[in-house]
Chain A
Amino acid sequence: MRLQLITLAGVKVDHEVYEVVIPTVDGEIGVFPDHEPLVSVAKAGVISIRYNKDDGPDDLEYFAIGGGIIEITVGLVRILVDEADHGDDIIAAETEAALERALHMRDTAADQIDIEKSTQLIDRHAVRLKVADLNRRRRR
């Protein structure tokens, strides 16, 4: 089946894949070829892609995504997300620093808006950090 991962900044993935695991608001779903047609809402989390059937855990590719929509039709999985960062593009140290800053921002937040903003940032950077971690482990 074909996977398309589309963000506002352009198409990140457009490729034949064997399996893709997507975080949705109802929990993670794994999509294999011939999945039933489904439209669902993705939440911030990690997408993992297995390109070939015999690929081991070391060959998986990871993306950190923000919220989005998933559309599964016959032979096509389309994921529309606000942002998607490839594991290789995330620098762990930078993300960690950003997470620190976001945590600090939450602790010193003056009003509800700041708290919400910082919570969103924390979620985002936590996801990115997780992806960076997964990516690093794969390399070993």
Chain B
Amino acid sequence: MGSIRQLKSRIRSVSNTKQITKAMQMVAASKMRRAQETAKSALPYTQAALDILSHFAAQGIVWNHPWFVARPVKTRLLILIAADKGLAGAYNANAFKEYLVQLQADRKNGVANQTIAVGRKASQFVTRLKNVVLAGSYADLPENPECAQFHAILQTAQAAYEAETVDAVDIIFTEFVSSMTQTATTQRLFPAGFTKSEVPGNMPEAKYEPSVGHVLKAAAYRLISAQLFQALLDSRASEHSMRMMAMKSATDNATELVDDLTLAMNKARQGAITQELTEISAGVEAMS
């Protein structure tokens, strides 16, 4: 059993840590709520873009556009989305695991790949790997992902796909299923695909201005940007939610540790008192 002074200082340091983790938990909780709300806000946009594209699909003109034409995949561009900071439980580790699975699959199929890393932890991880081409890295994205970085990522991916330096673009992000469940997933960005939804009956032959190709490109761009936007929002919500859970369990552990240490300290103090008393009474006995 450690001395009382040692135990006291340990208790103090653990309670300080607890205060910090508690504060981080609160911060993450409030950020998560905001992120969760915004994560929902992009849904109508995605839905509307899908609706418009399904008009094109109904008329069979989607497949002429280069963004929708799948070609044999020789090089793949992976966009890895992770956090800028650690201490978010398994958030970064899960995204990296999914990323490694994709890399291994590519290696097995003889597909070359490039990576765009979003988040400081992601770029740190990717630069440590061998034989990986880092095409770009972005960090410190603001809370609202509708920013210059977002357009830069999108345009990089689009340019690479159009120039045929890559044949497919995938995003690896953490899907926010609920505040308890978040899963790292891979989603295809280019070539653009979509599930064919029912074409509304009240859509007669519409006019397309200035031209079908023009409108199709604008609609496809919107769909793709909505997908990337959603991925960023989901990742953010997941990050905050996982950080909150991690900090909550850290706080709980600290509380437990403080309790254990306090018990040990009280025992040590009691032991010391008992020993002193025994010594005194032994002394008295010896004198008499």
Contacts and interface: CB of A to CB of B under 8 A. Distances in A.
A78 B214 CA distance: 18
Contact of A9 (B38, B55, B208): B38
Contacts of B48: 4, 6, 71, 78, 80
A75 B45 CA distance: 19
A8 B207 contact: no
Contacts of A67: 218
Interface string B215-258: 10011001001100100000000000000000000000000000
A49 B225 CA distance: 27
B51 to A, nearest CB: 8
A69 B215 contact: yes
Interface stretch (B92-100, B164-172, B196-204, B280-288): B196-204
Interface stretch (A38-46, A91-99, A122-130): A38-46
B142 interface: no
Contacts, number: 87
Nearest to B229: A8
Nearest to B214: A41
Interface in B41-97: 41-42, 44-45, 48-49, 51-52, 55
Given A11-B44, A80-B48, A37 B222 contact: no
Interface string A76-96: 001010110000000000000
B146 interface: yes
A80 B52 contact: yes
A81 B205 CA distance: 23
Contacts of A39: 52, 55, 206-209, 215, 219
A38 B207 contact: yes
A75 B204 CA distance: 13
Contacts of A37: 203-207
Given A40-B209, A71-B52, A74-B202, A25 B41 contact: no
Interface string B12-51: 0000000000000000000000000010011011001101
A73 B203 contact: yes
B49 A80 contact: yes
Contacts of A8: 41-42, 45, 146, 225-226, 229
B49 A38 contact: no
A119 interface: no
A11 B55 CA distance: 22
Nearest to A38: B207
B93 to A, nearest CB: 29
Given A6-B44, A8-B45, A73-B202, A26 B209 contact: yes
A113 B142 CA distance: 22
A130 B18 CA distance: 53
A118 B208 CA distance: 31
Nearest to B208: A39
In this complex, the member of A7, A80, A83 whose beta carbon has the largest number of chain B beta carbons within 10 angstroms is A80
A10 B40 CA distance: 8
A111 to B, nearest CB: 15
Contacts of B51: 71, 78
In this complex, the member of B144, B207, B225, B229 whose beta carbon has the largest number of chain A beta carbons within 10 angstroms is B207
A24 interface: yes
Interface of A: 4, 6-11, 24-26, 36-41, 67-69, 71-75, 78, 80, 82-83
Given A8-B146, A75-B202, 8 more contacts: A4-B44, A10-B41, A24-B209, A37-B207, A38-B207, A39-B52, A69-B52, A83-B146
8 pairs of A and B residues whose beta carbons are closest in the complex? A10-B41, A37-B206, A40-B209, A41-B218, A38-B207, A74-B202, A69-B218, A6-B45
17 contacts: A8-B226, A9-B144, A25-B209, A37-B203, A39-B52, A39-B206, A39-B208, A39-B209, A39-B219, A41-B214, A69-B52, A69-B219, A69-B222, A71-B55, A73-B203, A74-B202, A80-B45
